[in-house]
Each structure stands twice: as C-alpha cells, then as structure tokens.
C-alpha cells in the first residue's frame, strides 16, 4: 500500500539557517504530494503541494520538488525564522481517492 | 470567513461514557473526514463521508460512530467501546470526492482526555 517516510525529529536550528526535511514515499501510480504544517495546539494547514513529477510547490519561502526517480518530496527553506517552529507532515494522495496518507511528522525548533 | 469549526477544544470524559465531538464547515465542501492524532504519530483516518447521508469506515473505525445528516455537519461519537480514546481529534473537509488534487482543510482539533 501507499506509505510516507519522514526524517525523525526534532530538527533544531538557529534563526536564518537552511532547512531540509526529508520525505520519501511508496505508492502505485502517480500520487499527489503535500506538506502540511501544524503549529502548537492547532489543526493542520496546507503548506504546499505538487501533483505531478518535477512540479515544484512553494509557499512562504518553503519549497519542495516532486522527484519521481527518487520517490522523494523534500521540504526546504533557505532561512528559517523562530515563527517556523512547528510540526511538518508529508502526505500523499493516490489518484481517484481522497484518502491522505501521512508521515509521522517532523518537529522543527528554531532558536533566536 | 469560511472554515471548519470544532467544539469543544478540550473535552474530559469518564470511562464508560459516550461523548460526541462537533465538526461544522461553511466551505460548501462535499467530503468530510475525521482523523485521530497520537503523540509522535501521523494522522489516522477514522471515518469519512463523500456526501450527505453517506459515510465509510476508515482505518481505525472500531469504537467510533458518525452521522452526516447535513452537508455542513459531521459529528463524531466516541463510544465506551473505544479502548484508548485519549487523543487529539481532527476534522477535515475537501471540495469534492474522487480527485487527488483537492486539498483537505482542517479544523483546530478537539483534545479528548479520558479520566
């Protein structure tokens, strides 16, 4: 079945550091890929998405590229802020079915 | 503003009691979902509904029940049969069923604690 694997956290960075959170997936066919962010005590918000190979999703300085050859969708940001501290979830959705499959989440802690 | 509301934010329940979590959306979305989140884990799907008066079991439906009598409402009942109900519950909706391009919108969540 479909699955998502994320790097374990927490990821601890200083403000303005470069961020990478790894995400790889297993799926049949060509899924859509998503990154969601969860701030403390809140629900999830969609951060970015990509629906086909080589697509790049981007939002609020975050980027991720759908790499079919490596089945990856790594999240990157060039310069993190304290306000980026949150839990980040990678997810996929197979074609024709809206069920989202989530990774276990990666907690990011950014210090001033 | 359009969105999803969940109430209450915090809920305490004694063992053996049923409890109902509310989820309302004013996005005019057809599909709605309930997820459970446990510490250090991803989200697991409890139930989903493609359209009014229809719902399907997700991956962990045992001990839960739902109804979908109105398009905007999808309440979740945690019954006494659920062996480990303490968790964070998230409701979500999406515009239509069957397309993987549609994003899911999430509510703020309800934290349920069994005393």
Residue pLDDT, tens place only, B83-93: 889 999 999 99
Report the percentage of chain B scoring pLDDT > 70.
Answer: 94
Q: Do B43 and A100 touch (CB under 8 A)?
A: yes
pLDDT at A96 over 70: no
Closest CA to A87 of A28, A30, A47, A29: A47
Q: How many residues does chain A have?
A: 112
pLDDT exceeds cutoff 90 at B100:
no
In the predicted model, is pLDDT for residue A5 greater than 90? yes
Residue A43 to residue A41: CA distance in whole angstroms = 7
For residue B98, the model assigns a pLDDT of: 64
Interface of B with A in 76-115 (CB under 8 A): 90, 92, 94, 97-109
Contacts of A105 in chain B (CB under 8 A): 40-42
Mean pLDDT of A24-50: 92
- Encode pLDDT of B28-52 as tens digits: 999 999 999 998 778 999 999 999 9
Q: Which of A55-64, B20-29, B35-44 has the lowest mean pLDDT?
A: B35-44
Q: What is the pLDDT of residues A7-27, one digit of tens each?
A: 888 999 999 999 999 999 999
Longest dimension (CA), chain A: 44
Dist CA A107 CA A77 (whole Å): 15
């Amino acid at each position: 079945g479909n699955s998502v694997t994320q790097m374990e956290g927490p990821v601890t960075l200083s403000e303005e550091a470069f961020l990478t959170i790894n995400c790889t997936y297993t799926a049949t066919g060509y899924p859509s890929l998503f990154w969601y962010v969860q701030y403390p005590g809140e629900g999830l918000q969609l951060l970015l998405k990509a629906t086909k190979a080589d697509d790049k999703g981007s939002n609020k300085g975050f980027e991720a590229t759908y790499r079919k050859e490596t089945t990856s969708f790594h999240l990157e940001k060039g310069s993190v802020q304290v306000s980026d501290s949150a839990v980040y979830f990678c997810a996929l959705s197979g074609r024709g079915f809206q069920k989202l499959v989530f990774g276990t989440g990666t907690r990011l802690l950014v210090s001033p | 503003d359009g969105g999803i509301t969940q109430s209450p934010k915090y809920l305490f329940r004694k063992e053996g009691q049923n409890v109902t979590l509310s989820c309302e959306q004013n996005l005019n979305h057809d599909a709605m979902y309930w997820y459970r989140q446990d510490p250090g884990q991803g989200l697991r799907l409890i139930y989903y509904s493609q359209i009014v008066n229809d719902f399907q079991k997700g991956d962990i439906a045992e001990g839960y029940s739902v109804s979908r009598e109105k398009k905007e409402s999808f309440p979740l009942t945690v019954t006494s049969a659920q062996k480990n109900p303490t968790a964070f519950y998230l409701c979500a909706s999406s515009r239509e069923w069957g397309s993987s391009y549609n994003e899911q919108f999430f509510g703020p969540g309800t934290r349920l604690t069994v005393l």
